[in-house]
C-alpha cells in the first residue's frame, strides 16, 4: 500500500500534467479555431480531454507558453507571415498614434499571437477623449469597449481590412505603473 505522502506526490504530478494537457489543447483551440475567450478555451479543452470539472486549469501565462510551443511545432511559415502582418499593422498604427507614446503589448509583441489575434496598443493621454477626437477627425471608425471594474483605462477597437486593433488608453498618472509592468512582461516574453 502506498504511503499518503507518495499518494500526494502522485496527485501533484497528475494535476501538473493535467494543467499542461489543458494548456496545450486550449492553445490548439485558440490557434486553429480562433477562440478568443481563454476561459472558454480552457473549459472546452478539459471537456475534450474528459477531465473532471475540478481539474486544475492552467494560468494565462501557461497558455501563452503553450501557444508559443504550438506555433513552433505547427505554425511554420503561415505563423511567421501572419505575425509579420500583425506587426506591420501595429507599426502603421503606432506611427499614426505617435503623440500618445504607443506601446505594443500582448501576443503580437510576444510572438504567440494567432491569425485571429488583435493588435494591442497601450497609449498614454491626459484625456482619453483626445484619442477618440483624433480618430473621428481622421475618419477612423472605432467602437468604445466596456470598461472593467478593475481597469482604469479606456478601451477602443478599430476594425480594418488588415485586422483589428485594440487600444488601451491610460491617463498619465495611471500609465507609469502599468507601463513598467507591461514593458517588463513584454521583455520577458520576447522569443
User: What digits encode the pLDDT tens for the residues 118-127?
Assistant: 999 999 999 9
Distance CA 191, CA 179 (A): 20
Residue count of the chain: 191
CB 19 within 8 A of CB 58: yes
The whole-angstrom distance between residue 99's C-alpha and the CA centroid of its chain comes to 24
SS3 content of the chain, % helix, strand, coil (to 5): 60, 15, 25
Which whole number is the average pLDDT over 16-39? 94
CB 14 within 8 A of CB 32: no
Distance CA 90, CA 129 (A): 21
User: What digits encode the pLDDT tens for the residues 40-98?
Assistant: 999 999 999 999 878 899 999 999 999 999 999 999 999 999 999 999 999 999 999 99
Which whole number is the average pLDDT over 24-52? 94
- Between strands 163-171 and 119-125, the pairing is parallel
User: What digits encode the pLDDT tens for the residues 164-173?
Assistant: 999 999 987 7
> What are 145's three cell numbers?
469597449
Among residues of the chain, what percentage have pLDDT more than 70?
A: 83
CB 123 within 8 A of CB 105: no
Which whole number is the average pLDDT over 27-52? 94
Q: What is the pLDDT of residue 176?
A: 54
Q: How far is it between the farthest Cα atoms of the chain?
A: 75
Q: What is the pLDDT of residue 185?
A: 47
Amino acid at each position: 500500500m502506498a504511503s499518503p505522502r507518495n499518494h500526494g506526490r502522485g496527485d501533484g504530478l497528475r494535476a501538473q500534467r493535467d494543467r499542461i494537457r489543458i494548456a496545450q489543447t486550449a492553445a490548439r483551440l485558440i490557434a486553429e479555431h480562433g477562440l478568443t475567450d481563454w476561459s472558454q478555451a480552457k473549459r472546452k479543452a478539459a471537456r475534450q480531454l474528459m477531465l473532471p470539472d475540478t481539474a486544475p486549469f492552467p494560468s494565462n501565462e501557461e497558455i501563452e507558453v503553450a501557444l508559443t510551443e504550438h506555433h513552433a511545432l505547427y505554425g511554420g511559415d503561415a505563423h511567421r507571415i501572419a505575425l509579420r502582418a500583425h506587426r506591420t499593422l501595429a507599426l502603421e498604427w503606432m506611427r499614426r498614434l505617435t503623440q500618445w507614446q504607443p506601446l505594443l503589448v500582448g501576443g503580437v509583441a510576444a510572438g504567440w499571437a494567432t491569425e485571429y489575434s488583435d493588435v494591442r496598443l497601450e497609449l498614454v493621454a491626459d484625456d482619453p477623449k483626445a484619442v477618440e477626437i483624433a480618430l473621428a477627425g481622421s475618419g477612423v471608425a472605432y467602437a468604445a469597449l466596456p470598461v472593467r471594474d478593475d481597469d482604469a483605462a479606456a478601451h477602443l477597437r478599430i476594425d480594418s481590412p488588415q485586422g483589428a486593433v485594440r487600444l488601451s488608453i491610460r491617463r498619465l498618472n495611471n500609465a507609469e505603473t502599468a507601463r513598467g509592468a507591461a514593458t517588463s512582461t513584454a521583455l520577458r516574453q520576447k522569443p
